[in-house]
Copies of this chain bind each other. A is one copy, B any other.
Amino acid sequence: MRVTLRDIATRAGVTKATVSYAMSGKPNVSADMRVRILDIARELGYQPNVTARALSVGRAPTLALMVENIANPFYPEFALAVERAARERGHFLLICNTDADPDIGRTYLRRIAGQLSEGIVAMAGHLRIDDIAAVNQSGVPVVVCMWEEPEIAPPAPCVTVDFAHAAAIAAEHLLSLGHRRIGVLVDGDAHELHHQRRLGGFMHTMHAAGIDIDASHIVRAPDTIASGKQAARALLATAPSLTAIFATNDLLALGALRAAHEMRIKIPQQLSVIGITDIRAASESYPALTSVAVQTREVAAHAIDLLLGLIDGTIPVAPPPLIITPSASQLMVRESTAPPRRSRNSE
C-alpha cells in the first residue's frame, strides 16, 4: 500500500494541508512541526509523487506543443506522448491547435515565445519556415517534429521518423505477400503532396523489385477517412485489377476499407490494404488495419530531451536533424492484408 499524505497527517495528528505545507517548506508550519512531520514520513516510507511535486515547485516550466489539427487522431495521440514525456521531466505542456492556418500558427508562435513558454515543440507542416526560424533565433528554442519535406532542411533542430523507410516496410510486406498490381493513396491535394518522402520510399522499393506502379494508380487525397474512401472508390472503379492499396496514412487506409465495404470487395481476400502510423483506430477498425507503426513515444521523448537541453544550454544550438529509423519489427500485420487471389493477380 502506498503511503499518502493523509496517513502522515493521521499519525501526526494534523491536517493534510499542514503535511503538504511541511513537505513543500512553506513558512506557515513551525520548524519543529516540520521536522516531526518529515520524520513520520520517513518512518512510514513515504514516496512523494515526483511528478506533481516537480510541477508545483520553482518557476513555470512551461513547454508548448503546436499541432495542426487536433481533430485528426494522430495529433492527440502524439500530443499525449509529448505531454507525458514533458511531465516525466517535471514540465508542463500547453497544446496549441493552429487549425492548419499559418497566420494562426505565427501568432501562437510569437505569443508563446514572448510570454508563455520556455520552448516549443512544433509539428511544423503547416507553419511558415521563416516564422519558426525567427522564434528560434529570438532565443526561445523550437524543436520541429515529424518533418518530412524531402528537399528542405528543417528550420530548427528536428526529431523525425524515417518515413521513406516506413513506406519501404509497407512495400516489402505487400511484395512478400505476392502483390504486383498496387494502388497508392497519398496525403496531398492539388497544390501539394504532403507525403512525398513516403511515396518515394514506397516507389523505390517497388522499382528495386521490378514492379512498376502505374502513375494513374497513385491518387492524392487529404488526410481524412472520408476523402480516403472517395479516392479509393474512384481508384477501385477505374482499376479493378488492383489487389492491394498502400496508403501513406492510416486515415486514408481506413477510408479504403470503407470503400471496399461499400463496393462489396472482400478484405483481405480480394483486396489488401496497408497504412502508415498505427493510430489507435487502426487496431480498432473492422477489419483491423495492417499498418507500419511510427515511434510516437520515441520521437516525443527525444524531442523533449532535445528541447530541454537547448533551454538549459547543455546542447549546443542546432544539432543536425535526428532521424529515428523504424526497425522491421514495427510492421503490425492485422486482418487487412493477405496474399492476392490467383484470379486477380494473374495478368
A-to-B contact residues, CB < 8 Å: 49, 51-52, 55-56, 60, 62, 64, 70-71, 73, 75-77, 79-80, 83-84, 87, 92-97, 99, 101, 103-104, 106-108, 110-111, 115-116, 225-226, 254, 257-258, 261, 280-281, 284-286
The verdict on A92 contacting B75 (CB below 8 Å), with A70-B83, A99-B83, A116-B116 known, is no
Integer count of this chain's copies in the complex:
2
- Please state if B95 and A51 are interface contacts (CB–CB under 8 Å): no
- Please state if A96 and B95 are interface contacts (CB–CB under 8 Å): yes
Lowest 8 A-B CB distances belong to which pairs?
A95-B95, A52-B103, A94-B94, A55-B107, A76-B76, A70-B76, A71-B80, A225-B284
The verdict on A95 contacting B92 (CB below 8 Å), with A71-B80, A73-B73, A286-B258 known, is no
- Please state if A104 and B87 are interface contacts (CB–CB under 8 Å): yes
Chain B residues near A108: list those with CB within 8 A.
55, 92
- Please state if A56 and B116 are interface contacts (CB–CB under 8 Å): no
- A-B contact sample (8 more), CB < 8 A, given A60-B116, A258-B284, A286-B286: A52-B101, A52-B104, A56-B110, A80-B99, A87-B104, A92-B96, A92-B111, A258-B286
Least distance between A250 CB and chain B CB atoms (Å): 12
Report whether over half of chain A's contact residues are helix, strand or loop; otherwise say mixed: helix
Q: How far is the CA of A313 from the CA of B62 in the complex (A)?
A: 29
Select from chain B the residue with minimum beta-carbon distance to A94. B94
- Please state if B71 and A77 are interface contacts (CB–CB under 8 Å): yes
Select from chain B the residue with minimum beta-carbon distance to A77. B71
- Please state if B103 and A51 are interface contacts (CB–CB under 8 Å): yes
Q: How far is the CA of A191 from the CA of B55 in the complex (A)?
A: 28
- Please state if A52 and B107 are interface contacts (CB–CB under 8 Å): yes
The verdict on A115 contacting B60 (CB below 8 Å), with A84-B99, A97-B93, A286-B286 known, is yes
Least distance between A48 CB and chain B CB atoms (Å): 11
Chain B residues near A52: list those with CB within 8 A.
101, 103-104, 106-107
Q: How far is the CA of A286 from the CA of B258 in the complex (A)?
A: 8
